[in-house]
Chain A
């Protein structure tokens, strides 16, 4: 489904700030895979997601989705088959536009934008129903500006937007990290629900080990720009946080360090 082959990326090459973020990275996702991604500081988790999304071009290697090579495709064109939710709740929505307008923009992802009206009457009703499923009271605030929503509400809205046009791949980049624990749990539950209902192939970066273990069918751990652990199936189901830390040290040859990582709940 998704194939990353020998991806390398160095930021600020040839300067004292040179930083190799991805180093000969290889990853293959199968249809319907829900993969959680964990790793230490600067392991390249977000960089990998951004490389897939096309936020920058990679130095070498190829990215293929469903057999189509998208390595050279600009970010906005890749959006046709990639849905994204970012770590920063501000990044996923247009703050000065209404909730319904944001959804209408997302409903046209991957389609030609024309001189037809930007949002139709029937769409409004659809959006109202869709928002009702969130149970956040947003269905009564269709025309409210997205900028007035709380972080959790915005992430929930961004999730809806990411799945409104079924993406081939959903990228969740620590999308609950900026939320308080209760809201984070709710947004995560919603993510799980959307992924399951739509059978979305998903990459979810998280800093919470427990979440990484309980969600998805496959877990990968990154270190120094490459994947050092790849656990799936029954083996993943039996996994504990202690196992994970141990196996990480063995695979990466160093202790797991991440200032923000949550080992437990």
Chain B
């Protein structure tokens, strides 16, 4: 009974966290699923978003403006990765790792802006002193300042805008770039530019999520993005498992990232209540993601062994 009670108490917190990380996961979806690039920049750009937002806020900048600039900074990080990849011929995964590493130093500098040391690994922003958009303090209140309301609205806006964008001629070109670069080029699509646009968009959204996560927890830290890519992947994959392969609507697919992230945080909360230590979470997350990534591979292998009519038949029935 106590267990259930405490779980229920923790539910709003999970939903709040889930929505923010769900927005982050949507950013991951754009690179991982749409562009077919595993972009590791996000671990850095999430913290960059938080750092920029908090720094500007404590220096008296309007909070919405701070969020906007945080997002633009994230896009800049994506641009760097994109140029590493397309202009310098560095494999995408390595390009992302390089930017991520560089961002660690940059984030310390951002948070240490104006301080005597020049670098700082955390920067606090109190909801008492600043007009923050979201704060974990109000997550259980039945009032308008409950962060879940704003986060839900923000999520809807993000999904809506992306649905529109990927339906446009430019957006379709980006989807084609991810689906088949050869075909895209043969149809006159500038695949390199599209990869850069996709990376910028993705990291902008991730930094946006970072800006909200920092406000929510009342500080930005240099480590806040560590393992973000894996949490994002977990949310994407959980969302896909729940959705199944029947739904083709792009907006629904994006929304499934949000649902996936919420479920992820509910599960995390359950295992924490069951006595697992917070330090064990990264191990757990990695295992969950590895498992979900392995399942389709095993399934294909098993089906291939089962008979000659293997995959085509499965695809037919699976999509009928």
Spell out A's residues near B (CB within 8 Å): 53, 74-77, 79-80, 84, 86, 90-97, 101, 104-106, 108-111, 113-119, 143, 145, 148, 161
Residues of A within 8 A of B182 (CB): 86, 91
Interface membership of B171, Cβ < 8 A: yes
Q: In the assembled complex, which residues on chain A have CB atoms less than 8 Å from the CB atom of B171?
A: 118
B191 nearest CB neighbor, chain A only: A76
The smallest beta-carbon distance between B253 and chain A, in angstroms, is 11
Q: A91-B180, A108-B187, A115-B168 are in contact. List 18 more A-B contacts (CB 8 A).
A: A53-B186, A76-B188, A76-B189, A77-B188, A95-B180, A96-B179, A97-B175, A97-B176, A105-B173, A105-B176, A105-B187, A105-B189, A113-B169, A113-B170, A114-B168, A118-B172, A143-B248, A148-B316
Show 13 residue pairs from A and B whose CB-CB distance is below 8 angstroms, ordered by the A residue.
Answer: A79-B187, A79-B188, A90-B180, A94-B183, A95-B179, A105-B176, A113-B189, A116-B168, A118-B168, A118-B169, A148-B315, A148-B316, A161-B187
Q: Are the CB atoms of B184 and A94 closer together than 8 Å?
A: yes
**Bound state CA distance, A148 and B171, in angstroms?**
22
Give the secondary structure class of B's interface. Answer: helix
Give the residue name and chain of the A residue nearest to B190 (CB).
A76
A253 CB to closest chain B CB (Å) equals: 36
Q: Are A80 and B179 in contact (CB under 8 A)?
A: no
Shortest distance between the CB of B179 and any CB in chain A (Å) = 4
Q: How far is the CA of A35 from the CA of B122 in the complex (A)?
A: 69
B279 close to chain A: CB less than 8 A: no
Beta-carbon nearest neighbor of A78 in chain B:
B188
B319 interface residue per 8 A CB criterion: yes
B176: chain A residues at CB < 8 Å are: 94, 97, 105
Q: Which residue of A lies closest to B177 (CB)?
A: A94
Report which of B165, B172, B189, B315 forms a contact with A101, defined as CB distance below 8 A: B172
A106 and B319 in contact (CB under 8 A), knowing A93-B180, A115-B170? no
- Docked complex: B118-172 residues within 8 A CB-CB of A: 165, 167-172
Contacts of A75 in B (CB 8 A): 185-186
Cβ-defined contact, B172 with A79, below 8 A: no
Nearest B residue to A83 by beta-carbon distance? B186
In the bound complex, what is the Cα–Cα distance between A105 and B185 (angstroms)? 11
Which residues on the A side are within 8 Å of B170 (C-beta)? 113-115
* Contact A93 B183, CB 8 Å, known A108-B188, A148-B319: yes
Write the nearest CB–CB distance from B227 to chain A, whole angstroms: 28
Query: Which residues from chain B contact A91 at a C-beta distance below 8 Å?
Result: 180, 182-183
| B167 contact from A74, A94, A118, A145, Cβ within 8 A | A118
On whether the beta carbons of A79 and B185 are closer than 8 Å, the reply is: yes
Closest 9 CB pairs of A and B: A118-B172, A94-B179, A79-B188, A113-B169, A109-B188, A96-B179, A76-B185, A115-B168, A94-B180
CA distance A214 to B144 in the complex (A): 77
**Distance (Å) between the CB of A163 and the closest chain B CB?**
13
CA of A78 to CA of B180, assembled, Å? 18
Contacts of A79 in B (CB 8 A): 185-189
* Contact (Cβ within 8 A) B185 A116: no
Closest B residue by C-beta to A91: B182
> Nearest chain-B residue to A104 (Cβ)?
B172
Bound Cα distance from A84 to B178, whole angstroms: 19
B277-320 Cβ-contact flags toward A at 8 Å (1 or 0): 00000000000000000000000000000000000000110010
Check B169 against A114 for contact (C-beta < 8 Å).
Answer: yes
Q: What residue in chain A is nearest B174 (Cβ atoms)?
A: A113
The answer, among B167, B188, B316, for a CB contact under 8 Å with A110, is B188
Closest to B175 in A: A97
Chain B residue nearest to A94 (CB atoms) is B179
B169, A106: Cβ atoms closer than 8 Å: no
Residues 188-202 of chain B, each 1 if its beta carbon lies under 8 Å from chain A, else 0: 111100000000000
Chain A residues whose C-beta falls within 8 Å of the C-beta of B185 in the assembled complex: 75-76, 79
The CA-CA distance from A93 to B319 in the complex, in Å, is: 19
**B180 and A105 contact, CB distance less than 8 A:** no
User: Please, which residues of chain A bring their CB within 8 A of the CB of B173?
Assistant: 105, 113
A57 CB to closest chain B CB, in angstroms? Answer: 14
CB under 8 Å from chain A, chain B span 237-254: 248
* Alpha-carbon distance between A86 and B181 when the two chains are bound, in angstroms: 13
Given the complex of chains A and B, what is the CA–CA distance between A153 and B291 in angstroms? 36
Bound together, the chains give a CA A80 to CA B180 distance in angstroms of 18
Which residues of chain A have C-beta atoms less than 8 A from B178's C-beta?
96
**Contact in complex: B168, A117 (CB < 8 Å):** yes
- Contact with B169, one of A77, A115, A161 (Cβ below 8 angstroms): A115
Partner of A84, one of B175, B186, B190: B186
Whole-angstrom CA separation of A28 from B171 in the bound complex: 38
Complex: A143 Cα to B249 Cα, angstroms? 11
Contact between A116 and B169, CB atoms less than 8 A apart: yes
Mark contacts of B111-123 with chain A using CB atoms, 8 A cut-off: 1 yes-contact digit, 0 otherwise: 0000000000000
